[in-house]
Amino acid sequence: MNTTVLSKPHKLRRVFVWQLPVRVYHWLNALSILVLIATGFFIGNPLAILSGKEASDLYIMGTVRFIHFVAAYIFFFNFAFRIYWGFVGNKYAGWKNFIPTNKQFFKDMWAVIKTDIFMTKGSELHTIGHNRVAGFIYFLTFIAFGIQCLTGFGLYSATSDWWFPNLFAWVPAVVGGDFMLRQIHHWTMWFFILFTVVHVYLVFYHDYVEGRGEISSMGGGWKFIEEEIFEANKKAEEKKK
């Protein structure tokens, strides 16, 4: 594919990449993570509130925690849904985009790193869905999601009577108490912040350099692929069969 010569001007094929459930998942996830980070920071280090009111008239921390817990439930079930969709969704949503199952995956990752980080020429892979590095990083974020769910609901379990959070009651015992759990929960949050910054930057980067509609793809689900690359991808798929 490296040798594909693109026609000038580009002839673009519209490809439906992100299905509606994937897009809904993405934005719900983004929103809940933003809310969780903001409220999480507040819970970890609440602002000094100067108020003449009695405690009985205020419920600031209570409200912030409530929002945090609601967002956590949305985050969890949204994540659970995405795992399900990894098995029933289209080619670009499948779990094989994220979890390496063969050596080629790592070879492709290296090619992406060469192209996009070291910026050498001639190693371009024209992937349509997630590129391999992105897919693998998302796999790491899924692990981070898992850690946040375990530690978060582990902390929450002691205050809840519902069976669902109580499923996580074993977690504090494993890491040596709530204190350590709280720290892990806090540290992992920073991974989300760093991820978000890099993620948003790279979306702009790809849109800018490749001009395939990377940014808008998470809105309408479309990407616009050069005719030649489309044909090359199609041939490669047919060969596999």
Partner 1 sequence: MIIETSTKRKTYYEELTEKGYSRRDFMKFCTMIAAYMGLQSSGVAQVTEALKTKPRLPVIWMHFQECTCCSESFIRSSHPIVADIILDKLSLDYTETLMAAAGHQAEEAMHKTMKEHYGEYVLCVEGSVPLGADGVYCMIGGKSSLDILHEVAEGAKAIICWGSCASNGCVQAAKPNPTTATPIHKIIKNKPIIKVPGCPPIGEVMAGTIVHILTFGTLPALDGIGRPKAFYSKRVHDSCYRRPYYDAGLYVESFDDENAKRGYCLYKVGCKGPSTYNACGVMRWNNGVSFPIQSGHGCFGCSEESFWDNGPLYQRLPNIAGFGIEATADTVGKVALGVTAAGIAAHAVATNLRKKKMIDNLISEGKESEQELKAE
Applying CB under 8 A, which residues contact partner 1?
Answer: 8-10, 44-49, 51, 55-62, 64-65, 117, 119, 158-159, 169-170, 172-173, 176-183, 186-187, 190, 193-194, 197-198, 201, 205, 208-211
- Cβ proximity to partner 1: between 146 and 177 the closer is 177
The minimum distance between CB 3 and partner 1, in angstroms, equals: 16
Distance from chain centroid for Cα 86: 13
Task: Indicate the residue among 48 and 88 with the shorter CB distance to partner 1.
Answer: 48
Tell me how many degrees the CA angle 158-162-166 measures, rounded to the nearest 5: 45
- Which residue lies nearer to partner 1 by CB, 51 or 101? 51
Q: How far is the CB of 27 from partner 1 (least distance, A)?
A: 23
Task: State the nearest-atom distance from the C-beta of 30 to partner 1, in Å.
Answer: 18
Q: Report in angstroms how near the CB of residue 196 gets to partner 1 at its nearest.
A: 10
Residue closer to partner 1 (CB basis): 55 or 88 = 55
Q: Which residue's CB is nearer to partner 1, number 92 or number 138?
A: 138
- Are 214 and 203 in contact by the 8 Å Cβ rule? The answer is yes
* Dihedral pair phi/psi, residue 46, rounded to 5°: -60, 150
CB of 152 to partner 1, least distance (A): 14
Q: Closer to partner 1 by CB, 16 or 201: give it.
A: 201
Quote the least distance from Cβ 51 to partner 1, whole Å. Answer: 7
Q: What Å distances lie between residue 133 and 42, 54, 140, 202, 220, CA to CA?
A: 33, 53, 11, 11, 23
Cis peptide before 9 (omega within 30 of 0): yes
